């Protein structure tokens, strides 16, 4: 069995971190078998190196090695890319095409970003893993293939399964052996080593002296979080190598190439609501209900004053603050007391009846009406609006004029009552 150090030299892997060494050791151990492997880790940690190690150290090393970026292939064509298609299977399919699983027969397929596969493609892939069978798009004939599948993802697979974005059975088929590559921030001792290797490579590539970091710059390099991992470190080394005339890089110069990052302090996030959260929601609900009760009492008071006085303009003038509270900021010509459709009861429907009531009995009668109307105000409004609309053949402008309200208010009421 090839040693870890020899494997790292052969495949250009830099670093002495224990977690990295363990990942390479697992790749060496699993390579001679045909077990499916799932490589996990953040974007930029170098997951693509593990499938190459597995393929080159396996008995399939003389077969084809195909790397497929599942996230880069459109959903509508990924089945055709992986499994092939027959001529005429879809628009543009002018000839029969072999897919990657057919081409790589006897070799290895690396499915990068496997978490991005559509659910329909996941079903097809599961069948390949279970019995090595697949069907081309537009065909009914089952074909056999003998491929080793190594997949990689930076997605939290358990979250994807919980959200129904990835099949649980496929996950367990792919992850017979799972190899995790640690992020660069957990490999502190490797960061400067990698930077020096990248700086040397770019000096050779661009034919210029190699850049070097001061002690302060090295401390800053190790302190930085490197969310983009090895890929981000490589890009920074290349930028500095090309752009800086001075080949000794200070901390201030290096800091100019490092993006500002928000604090990554740990935070506790709960997916369930605590008892205090529900208590706060109850308090808010009680306050809303109390405010609604207060508004309803104000509305009753305003209605009573209107029925007693019989003069809408005087009532509007005396209760401007109350009207504003109830109706808010509507247009001045429409936010009037006329929005109380009960006005049509006080001034229109009951004009003839009130003329027959003695003045001393009038207010007593209004009090009795007020008690009944508060219980059936909705029904009265609905009844009056229906009658007025029927009388004017559905013409809102004439109906609004008869009811003593604005056309806009009538329209709102029609919508409210679903007339």
Structural domain contains residue 142:
yes
User: Could you give the 3-state DSSP secondary structure of residue 150?
Assistant: strand
Count structural domains, the chain: 3
DSSP code for 155: S
The DSSP bridge partners found for residue 69 are: 112
Whether 146 and 197 share a structural domain:
no
* DSSP-assigned beta bridge partners for residue 39: 152, 179
Structural domain includes residue 102:
yes
Q: How does pLDDT run across 371-414, given as a tens digit for each residue?
A: 444 445 677 777 888 888 888 887 888 888 887 788 778 778 78
pLDDT digits (tens, 9 = 90+) for 133-160: 999 999 999 999 999 999 999 999 999 9
Looking at 137, 167, 182, which one is the last position of a domain? Answer: 182
Q: What is the tens place of the pLDDT at every residue in 42-100? A: 999 999 999 999 999 999 999 999 999 999 999 889 999 999 999 988 888 889 999 99
pLDDT digits (tens, 9 = 90+) for 4-25: 999 999 999 999 999 999 999 9
Q: Domain check: are 120 and 193 in the same one?
A: no
Q: Are residues 169 and 198 in the same domain?
A: no
- Does residue 268 form part of some domain? no
* Residue 343 in domain: yes
Q: Supply φ then ψ for residue 182, to 5 degrees.
A: -75, 150
Residues 400 and 314 in one domain: yes
Tokens representing 365 are: 């009668």
- Cα three-residue angle 191-43-28, rounded to 5 degrees: 75
92/21 same-domain check? yes
Is residue 283 situated within a structural domain? no
CA distance 413 to 72: 53
Euclidean distance between CA atoms 387 and 410, whole angstroms: 13
Domain CATH for 156: 3.40.50.300
My answer on whether 173 and 226 are in the same domain is no
- Please say which residue of 151, 182, 213 terminates a domain: 182
- The answer to whether position 272 is within a domain reads no
**Same domain? 11 vs 136:** yes
Give the domain-ending residue among 125, 158, 182: 182
User: Would you call 249 helix, strand, or coil by DSSP?
Assistant: strand
Instruction: Summarize the confidence of residues 315-341 as an average pLDDT.
Output: 54
pLDDT, tens only, 166-180: 999 999 999 999 999
Do residues 171 and 39 share a domain?
A: yes
Whole-angstrom distance, CA of residue 244 vs CA of residue 33: 49
Q: Please, which residues have CB within 8 angstroms of residue 124's CB and are 6 or more apart in sequence?
A: 79, 82, 83, 134, 135
Please check whether residue 108 is in contact with residue 55, taking contact to mean a CB–CB distance below 8 angstroms.
Answer: yes
Q: Same domain, yes or no, for 35 and 165? A: yes
Asked if 150 contacts 36 with a C-beta cutoff of 8 angstroms, the reply is yes
User: Is residue 218 domain-shared with residue 342, that is, in the same domain?
Assistant: no
Instruction: Round to whole Å and give the CA distance between 48 and 44.
Output: 9
Residue 98 in domain: yes
Please indicate, yes or no, if residue 212 is contained in any of the structural domains.
yes
User: Are 171 and 27 found together in one domain?
Assistant: yes
Task: Read off the pTM.
Answer: 0.62
How confident is residue 292, by pLDDT bands cut at 50, 70 and 90? Answer: confident
Question: Are residues 313 and 244 part of one domain?
Answer: no
How far is CA 84 from each of CA 93, 101, 319, 321, 391, rounded to the nearest angstrom? 10, 8, 78, 74, 70
Distances (CA, A) of 14 to 7, 199, 254: 11, 13, 22
Which CATH number characterizes residue 243's domain?
1.10.8.60
Supply the range of the domain harboring residue 310: 292-417
């Amino acid at each position: 069995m090839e040693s870890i150090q020899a494997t790292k030299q052969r495949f250009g892997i830099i670093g002495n971190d224990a977690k990295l060494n363990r990942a390479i050791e697992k790749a060496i151990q699993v390579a001679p078998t045909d077990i499916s492997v799932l490589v996990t880790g953040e974007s930029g940690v170098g997951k693509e190196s593990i499938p190459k190690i597995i393929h080159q150290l396996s008995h399939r090393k003389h077969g084809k090695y195909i790397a497929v970026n599942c996230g880069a292939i459109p959903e509508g064509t990924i089945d055709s890319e992986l499994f092939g298609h027959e001529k005429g299977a879809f628009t543009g399919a002018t000839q029969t095409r072999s897919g990657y699983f057919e081409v790589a027969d006897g070799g290895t397929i690396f499915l990068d970003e496997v978490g991005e596969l559509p659910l329909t493609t996941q079903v097809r892939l599961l069948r390949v893993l279970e019995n090595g069978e697949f069907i081309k798009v537009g065909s009914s004939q089952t074909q056999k293939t003998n491929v080793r599948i190594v997949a990689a993802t930076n997605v939290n697979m358990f979250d994807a399964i919980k959200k129904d974005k990835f099949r649980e059975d496929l996950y367990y088929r792919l992850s017979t052996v799972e190899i995790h590559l640690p992020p660069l921030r957990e490999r502190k001792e490797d960061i400067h080593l990698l930077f020096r290797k990248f700086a040397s490579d770019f000096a050779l590539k661009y034919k210029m002296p190699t850049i070097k970091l001061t002690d302060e710059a090295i401390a800053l390099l190790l302190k930085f979080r490197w969310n983009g991992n090895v890929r981000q470190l490589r890009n920074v080394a290349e930028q500095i190598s090309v752009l800086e005339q001075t080949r000794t890089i200070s901390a201030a110069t290096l800091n100019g190439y490092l993006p500002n990052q928000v604090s990554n302090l740990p935070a506790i996030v709960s997916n369930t609501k605590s008892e205090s959260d529900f208590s706060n929601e109850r308090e808010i609900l009680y306050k809303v209900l109390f405010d609604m009760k207060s508004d309803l009492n104000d509305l009753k008071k305003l209605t009573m004053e209107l029925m007693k006085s019989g003069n809408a303009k005087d009532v509007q003038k005396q209760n401007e603050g109350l009207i504003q509270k109830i109706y808010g900021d509507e247009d001045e010509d429409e936010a009037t007391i006329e929005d109380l459709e009960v006005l049509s009861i006080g001034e229109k429907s009951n004009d003839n009846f009130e003329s027959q009531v003695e003045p001393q009995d009038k207010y007593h009668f209004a009090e009795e009406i007020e008690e009944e109307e508060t219980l059936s105000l909705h029904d009265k409004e609905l009844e009056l609006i229906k009658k007025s609309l029927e009388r004017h053949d559905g013409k809102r402008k004439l109906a609004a004029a008869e009811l003593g309200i604005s056309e806009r208010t009538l329209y709102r009421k029609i919508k409210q009552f679903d007339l």
